[in-house]
Chains A and B, each alone.
Chain A
Amino acid sequence: MQPVIRLEHIFKTYGSDETEVQALQDVNLIVETGEYCAIMGPSGSGKSTAMNVIGCLDRPTSGCYYLDGVDVAGLSDAELAHIRNRKLGFVFQQFHLLPQLSAMENVMLPMVYAGIPQNERKERAAAALTRVGLANRLNNRPNQLSGGQQQRVAIARAIVNRPVLLLADEPTGALDSHTTQEVLQIFAELNSSGITVVMVTHEPDVARQTRRIVWFRDGQVLHDHLTPDDLTQMTIAA
């Protein structure tokens, strides 16, 4: 079976000449289907850049990236948009729900861009919201929901197009410890149902609940498959 993510010798350079910044330097990473993986590292380590490349929001300067077996390097902007729509689901620290839309409508949005008919959109949005425990909040607007609930709407939106990969960028950064646990619980459930999850976080307690921890430093993968003990040492060192 194809790995979901295969990064081969990925370089990413910003700026030019004297102001040049090497954000990624020869990153190699394979994530298999069904993995639950945390990306950690100090700020400036390149973990966010890596996340943008994996999420097809940014193109590597050089190197190969196979997403679900597809080489995305040569794709046009429109084709990348299509890939993001069909193969990827995003969850952000700030939720990024559209305030004028209800929970249902927010979750339906990716399906609108996928050209899915209205009836099916409604069914699938309701099912996704039920799956994250918001069956009774379908018609609420974001400002009528708590932070944890909003993030769950965002998760429902991320999974509604049945992506091969769920990408979360500091998904618990804006949540308190109780709702953090609720959200991580949902990620764990989604993962055990087969969805591949990759999450950027700077919280060791969050990372420990994943099944694989990748540590970035200076634009490179410094350690892979860290144990919880290693992680404790790494965070103390950092």
Chain B
Amino acid sequence: MDIFESTKMAVKTLTANKLRSTLTMLGIIIGNASVITMVGVGQGAQRYASEQFESLGPNVLFIIPGSNESRNRTFDLPKTLTLEDAKAIAAQVPTVSAVAPQLQTQQPVTYSNKRTSSLIVGTTPEFLPVRDFEVARGRFFTDLDVQRNTQVVALGSDVAKNFFGDADPIGQQIRIKNISFQVIGVMESKGAFLGNNQDDAVYIPLSTMSSRITGNTSPYGTEVTFISVNARDEASVNAAEFQLNNLLRLRHKITTEDDFTVRTQKDALEIVGNVTGALTLMLAAIAAISLFVGGIGIMNIMLVSVRERTHEIGLRKAIGASQQDILVQFIIEAVILSAIGGVIGTVIGTSGIMLVSAVTPLKAGVSTTAIAVAVGVSGGIGLFFGVFPARQAAKLDPIVALRSA
């Protein structure tokens, strides 16, 4: 008997018992849908995070306080980075084209009777080229503003919209931590970065920030939260990293453990990749377990089915079916069940991914290879878990099978 006939026969048997076939498939459907959704979401998270860092441009380096080890030990980071560090970098590191120190904190911002809590970023004019920000209206503050501690502010687009709607905010006064600032510009919308809305922020001169808003608590100089640096070009990133490390180690008189970390985009991508890769793996493992359970479900039902169909098996053997014919028939039934379950699960999983993409920023991808693998694996699971019941069926003694009540 050829495969085509066996398949026809299996389809006939499966459609004759639709409820049981459907319930048997359910495990595979759920397993498959969860594998595809989980992997898709995991990959979406990975892509999202990667895109965030790539959107910074390949030349950006960040200098953050504390060593990687010390950050693992405590959340209370030493305030080791200063404005003077940033100035020294700009003056002494030849591979660096621009430096933007940032001092930032969350503070209440008010305009007339409106009030928000926004991120206050104190920085220098170089912030614009380094972080690739642009001004939509008015102007950003200048070096002169920084020198003179002027009380001027450039609003993130969400803050501007929130306070002024469609009206022109330029020249208006807003209050940050109850100190009056004149609005001189509105930033171009920039979207979120790693979940932080960069448009719900206001930008003021670093000197004003330090003297009027945060006060200075660092014993080393004018404290900054972190320093963004632009290397001259992509080829200089490694050299810049080396030079930055050397300069800061000298300035900070480091003899043992660094009290700062220079992080390139590559480092960041690597960290993100590690985290999201582990996440994806964990999600896939959980989903794989449900797929496995689905396979056991198939085996379970098939074993019951073999018991129920002893007469059929005995009869088939009596009229000339060989052990192999019976084996093939039952395996094909299991494979069809799991393959169809796999396809249905794939459709559901794909819909799940589309749903996730629609309602979250994770652009979860539906990869055709993932689908091919999922359906193939389900078929394989059907094969694997179908073999044991099928062998039981094939080995049935036709005399016993025909006589059993």
Chain A 108-119, CB within 8 Å of chain B: the 1/0 string?
Answer: 011011110000
A77 to B317 alpha-carbon distance, docked (Å): 10
Chain A contacts for B17, CB-based, 8 A = 100
CB pair A81 B322 closer than 8 Å: yes
The answer, yes or no, to whether A225 is at the interface (CB within 8 Å) is no
The answer to whether A90 and B318 have CB atoms under 8 Å apart is yes
CB <8 Å contact, B318 and A55: yes
Picked from B16, B318, B323, the residue with its CB within 8 Å of the CB of A57 is: B318
- Contact, CB under 8 Å: A113 / B325: yes
Contact B12 A84 (CB under 8 A): no
| A158–B25 alpha-carbon span in the complex (Å) | 36
A130 at the interface (CB under 8 A from B): no
Contacts of A112 on B, CB cut-off 8 Å? Answer: 1, 5, 9
- A59 vs chain B, min Cβ distance (A): 11
**Total residues of chain A contacting the partner, CB 8 A:** 28
Interface of B is mostly: helix
The answer to whether the Cβ of B320 comes within 8 Å of any Cβ in the partner chain is: yes
Contacting pair B12 A85 (CB below 8 A): no
Given contacts A96-B311, A96-B314, A100-B13, contact A78 B323 (CB under 8 A): yes
| Closest partner residue, chain B, to A58 (CB atom) | B399
Q: Does residue B398 face the partner (Cβ distance < 8 Å to A)?
A: yes
**B213 at interface by CB-CB < 8 Å:** no
The answer to the question of A226 belonging to the interface, with a C-beta cut-off of 8 Å to chain B, is no
Q: Are B399 and A84 in contact (CB under 8 A)?
A: no
For residue A211, CB closer than 8 A to chain B, the reply is no
Q: Is B90 an interface residue (CB 8 A)?
A: no
| Residue pair A98, B319 in contact (C-beta under 8 Å) | no
Q: Are A98 and B315 in contact (CB under 8 A)?
A: yes
- Tell me if B324 is interfacial: C-beta within 8 Å of chain A: yes
Interchain pairs with CB closer than 8 A, number: 66
Do residues B2 and A81 form an inter-chain contact, with CB atoms below 8 A? no
A115 and B319 within 8 A (CB)? no
Question: A75-96 toward B: CB 8 Å interface, digit per residue (1/0)?
Answer: 0011001101110001010101
Interface size class of B (residues with CB under 8 A): 20 to 34
Contact check, B402 vs A78: say whether CB atoms are below 8 A apart.
no
Q: Is the CB of A78 within 8 A of B322?
A: yes
B294 vs chain A, min Cβ distance (A): 25
Closest Cβ of chain B to A75, distance in Å, is 12
Q: What CA separation (Å) do A82 and B318 show in the bound complex?
A: 10
A190 to chain B, nearest CB (A): 17
Q: What's the minimum C-beta distance from A87 to chain B, rounded to whole angstroms?
A: 10
Contacts known (A92-B402, A113-B325); A84 close to B318, Cβ less than 8 A: yes
Interchain nearest-CB distance for A233 vs B (Å): 31
In contact, B315 and A96 (Cβ under 8 angstroms): yes
Minimum CB–CB distance for A114 against chain B, Å:
7
Tell me whether B316 and A109 are in contact (CB under 8 A).
Answer: yes
Interface flag for B168 (CB, 8 Å): no
A110 touches B319 (CB 8 A): yes
- The 8 A CB mask of B303-334 against A (1 = contact, 0 = none) is 00000000110111111111111000000000
In the complex, per-residue mask of A51-84: 1 if CB is within 8 Å of any chain B CB, else 0 = 0100101100000000000000000011001101
| A114 to B2 CA separation, bound complex (whole angstroms) | 10
Q: What is the CB-to-nearest-CB distance from B160 to chain A, in angstroms, rounded to a whole number?
A: 71
A90 and chain B: residue at smallest CB distance = B318
CB distance from A163 to the nearest CB of B (A): 10
- 3 nearest interchain CB pairs? A85-B320, A100-B16, A81-B322
Please give the residue numbers on chain B whose beta carbons come within 8 Å of chain A beta carbons, in ascending order: 1-2, 5, 9, 12-13, 16-17, 311-312, 314-325, 398-399, 402
28 examples of A-B residue contacts, CB within 8 angstroms = A57-B317, A57-B398, A77-B322, A78-B324, A81-B320, A81-B325, A82-B320, A82-B322, A84-B317, A84-B318, A84-B320, A85-B319, A85-B320, A85-B321, A86-B320, A92-B315, A94-B311, A96-B315, A96-B318, A98-B315, A100-B16, A112-B1, A112-B5, A113-B321, A113-B322, A113-B325, A157-B319, A161-B320
